[in-house]
Amino acid sequence: MKKPMRKTFLVFGKPFIGKEEIVEVVKTLKSGWWGTGPKTERFEHEFAAYTGADHALGVNSATAGLHLALKALGVGPGDEVITTPLTFVSTANVILHCGATPVFADVERDTWNIDPKEIEKKITKKTKGILPVHLHGSPCDMDAITAIAKRHKLFVVEDAAHASEAIYKGKKIGSIGDITAFSFYATKNIATGEGGMVTTNNKNLAEFMRIMSLHGLSRDAYKRYSVKYYRHYESVIPGFKYNLTDIAASIGIHQLARVEANWKVRKKHWESYVQAFTHMPQLILPAPDARDTKHARHLFAVLLRLEAMKITRDEFVDHLIKMNIGSGVHFNPVPSHSYYRKTYGYRKGMFPNAEFVGERTVSLPIGANLKNRDIEDVVRAVRWIIDSYRKR
């Protein structure tokens, strides 16, 4: 089989935008409202309606949203928060930023999401809450997780950076846990460059996070400067600078409007990959969707059966690059990173399922801006690598 080669590089996670976003941003630039203002307020209302949550707050990243969530729920020094080792480091970092300790519970080997049975094993008197991650857009077992939380009087904060469209047993992700954080980073299904949203059904938590998101001021900038007469504001608590801008929200409004149409395109690409790779024993495909759930189809990841290959995962990724195919690794487990190894003494073998996935995972392009021929190029490239480097 001749080595396939694209003429141009297929960018992994390239954002998909339309004319509507460009027009809206220009309107915002001309309006003078560049910071947090009416466009952000509109985006928040529309996102709350989409997720079925009572309240939504625009923030400048999902990381900021997670930090606000933990602060709102009183996480501090001496506390422990249980989360998954198979996630981006920000999920664990925000726990540290609160002065608390992240405690990792291993993932399920088939779903790659946090294992509720492992969560139970990690609960101590110091445990304050659970922070599950809907990895790649696949909803965690929220019934089991919320039952554990209720039994032990713990909060649940969901990291839904990958899961804007996800549904768990008829409930939209964003309306289940105490607080949920979403990402609108450039590679996400809803992309604003940088940005995010936190949702909650608790009015008091929503108000606290809103105040904390903008320096701890009693009134945000939009309300301070849009009133008909001057009003003083107060710093009621030392807050952060986590607010979303109207420029970003101008993009997000239209990204949200077409999110379901884009999801259908990614679902089609997903099914093409599954059909192409089902009978390749060198690959482990994503688990089938659980009953009554909707996968957000954010990332299509395969696991390499390394025992059947002559190359490592990293070498596999390098071969894709040489054929002008972009890809990603989501993720190397957090405990494998140097800070966590040195600080907490994590070593290989402590989280066997997360390590198994982390050593083998490769995310393939699946954006709504991709064409069928792009997916075909990826399939040809993967098949060539497998055929060239499989053990006979």
Which residues are known catalytic residues?
A: 188
- Specify which residues 55 forms β-bridges with: 200
Spell out the residues 6+ positions from residue 176 whose beta carbon is closer than 8 angstroms to its own: 142, 146, 156, 158, 168
Give every strand in the sheet of 293-294, ordered side by side.
Answer: 171-172, 167-168, 293-294
The neighbour count for residue 7, using CB atoms within 10 Å, is 6
Give the CA diameter of the chain. 79
Bond preceding residue 331 cis, omega within 30 of 0: yes
- Nearest-angstrom CA–CA distance, 320 and 10: 10
Tokens of 47: 């996102």
SS (H, E, C) 19-85: HHHHHHHHHHHHHCCCCCCHHHHHHHHHHHHHHCCCEEEEECCHHHHHHHHHHHCCCCCCCEEEECC
Side chain identity, residue 299: L
Identity of the residue numbered 105: A
What tokens were used for 358? 């982390």
* Region class of 216: left (phi > 0), else alpha (psi between -120 and 50), else beta: left
Question: Would you state the torsion angle of the CA atoms of residues 304, 289, 268, 135, taken in this order, to the nearest 10 degrees?
Answer: -60
Distance CA 167, CA 174 (A): 9
Pairing of strands 155-159, 167-168: unpaired
Q: How far apart are CA 89 and CA 107, in angstroms?
A: 16
CB under 8 Å to 93, separation ≥6 — which residues? 63
In sequence order, the 6+-apart residues with CB closer than 8 A to the CB of 15 are: 186, 187, 191, 193, 367, 369
